[in-house]
Amino acid sequence: MGDSSSQNVITLSCPQDVPDPAALCDALINAITETRPNTDIRQSDAGTDAVLKNGDIALTLRLSNISDTGIGGHLEWRTAKNSELNVGPTVDFNVMDKTMSANFYPKFAQGLLKSSPDLFTR
């Protein structure tokens, strides 16, 4: 993985009050890693209150809904350069003829990142 001191760090906070919260956070971590492979992602309860150094991002996933038919939410983040909270658009992911499960978290996570292109603009 290399020298983590030279990597940008994303401090990630995910909701715990969902079915299989680890799978939801892992899906978001995997989606970020596909987009930014040289990023050190650390899970934390601090969320957007995390202490940051230059190039780092404090990222929180906020859910607006989760049900048997879908999941919705948005990303919130701040950077060391911009301490103002950024809020991405709400993304809704709905399923038909199936029951919402952790199997759909990766597509939801990818949708969140695609809807928030400013996330990696530091």
Mean per-residue pLDDT over the chain, rounded: 89
Which pLDDT score, from 0 to 100, does residue 7 have?
A: 73
Cα separation of 78 and 95, whole Å?
31
Strands 70-79 and 57-67, by their bridges, are antiparallel
Please tell me the total count of domains within the chain: 1
Cα separation of 5 and 28, whole Å?
22
Q: Identify the three-state secondary structure at position 37.
A: coil
Residue 8 lies in domain: 4-120
Residue 59 belongs to a domain with what CATH number?
Answer: 3.30.160.150
Residue 102 has pLDDT above 70, yes or no: yes
CB-based burial of residue 121 (10 Å sphere; 0-12 exposed, 13-18 middle, 19+ buried)? Answer: exposed
Residue-wise pLDDT tens digits, 10-29: 999 999 989 899 999 999 99
